[in-house]
Chain A
Amino acid sequence: MDLKLGHYNKDGIEVVDVEGEIDVYTAPRLRELLIDLVNKNNYQLVVNMEKVEFLDSTGLGVLVGGLKRVRAHDGSLDLVCTQERILKIFRITGLTKVFGIHETVDKAIAAKKSEK
């Protein structure tokens, strides 16, 4: 399955919906979207990965790149993910300690608001 991307603003936080496979072929599209959002002054991002079917290290690299970009503006990038097969790659790379990972978009937004 190809990659489908969408985004919307909720309570001042930009939510990125990702569906499909994030790999060496499709990851550049996600990278471009994250860069575009940051260039448009969106520094509080939530990436919803509940419909992601596959994620490899290229995809991790894009997410880490996005995190670095928003952090440069004192922002944050949190993830929504409950799928064990996706969470596993975050665990084995230690990135569970780098990203905030939440069960739902609403919980991710609530966590971001409580940080402010």
Chain B
Amino acid sequence: MATVEVTFTPLPAHVRTARLVATAVARRSGVDESLLDEVRLAVGEACSRAVEAHRRHCPAEPVRIEMTDQDQRFVVTVSDHAPTVPARPAAHAPPGDGTAHDAPGHEAPAYEAAAYEAIGYDGGSALPPGFGLAVISGLAEDVRVLSTSSGVSVRMSWPSAASPS
């Protein structure tokens, strides 16, 4: 059972509220203060992506966030219900099983391609699709993106206070 579960209508104004709630719950769960900025930014990115997807495909459906403690980690899952929205983290995230490990102080070369691509990108946004997920992968210690026909779930986790590490 989730410690805290939030659903909100897919409006950009609510993303800030979601960030604040996630940060408060993370602090309550014992996530180190030095990681709270990462939690805030990563959850905000995931919610922004979900809001944009819902506004295009299902504006009446709410975006859902679940926050829980599992195995000494603070786990946040942001889920949308927008069908057939392609998740493209693989284009910029490190290869493997979908788990990305942050390297403090390290400039990840994988993301530089996205940045330079952005300069020449001519889409509706100044940045290419999937850029937000690439940012999440650079921030969260553990990220998994599950894309199904019924939507995309972004699951992120950080060590909580009880973690032995």
A interface with B by C-beta (< 8 Å): 21, 23-25, 54, 56-58, 60-62, 64-65, 67-68, 85, 88-89, 91-98
Contact = CB atoms under 8 A, between A and B. Distances in A.
A60 B16 CA distance: 17
B135 A57 contact: yes
A97 to B, nearest CB: 7
B137 to A, nearest CB: 9
A25 B111 CA distance: 24
17 contacts: A21-B16, A23-B15, A24-B12, A24-B44, A54-B40, A54-B44, A57-B48, A57-B127, A57-B135, A58-B48, A64-B119, A92-B111, A93-B134, A94-B111, A94-B115, A97-B115, A98-B115
Nearest to A99: B115
A25 B16 contact: yes
A94 B112 CA distance: 4
Secondary structure at the B interface, as helix, strand, loop or mixed, is helix
Given A57-B48, A95-B115, A64 B127 contact: yes
Interface string B110-127: 011111101100000111
A98 B116 contact: yes
Interface residues of B, number: 33
Contacts of A58: 48, 132
A43 B30 CA distance: 47
Contacts of B131: 57, 60-61, 93
B107 A91 contact: yes
B69 interface: no
A25 B14 CA distance: 8
B32 interface: no
B138 A93 contact: yes
Contacts of A94: 107-109, 111-116
Contact of B126 (A25, A56, A62, A92): A62
Contact of B41 (A61, A89, A91): A89
Most chain B CB atoms below 10 A, which of A21, A25, A56, A89: A56
B5 interface: no
Contacts of B134: 93
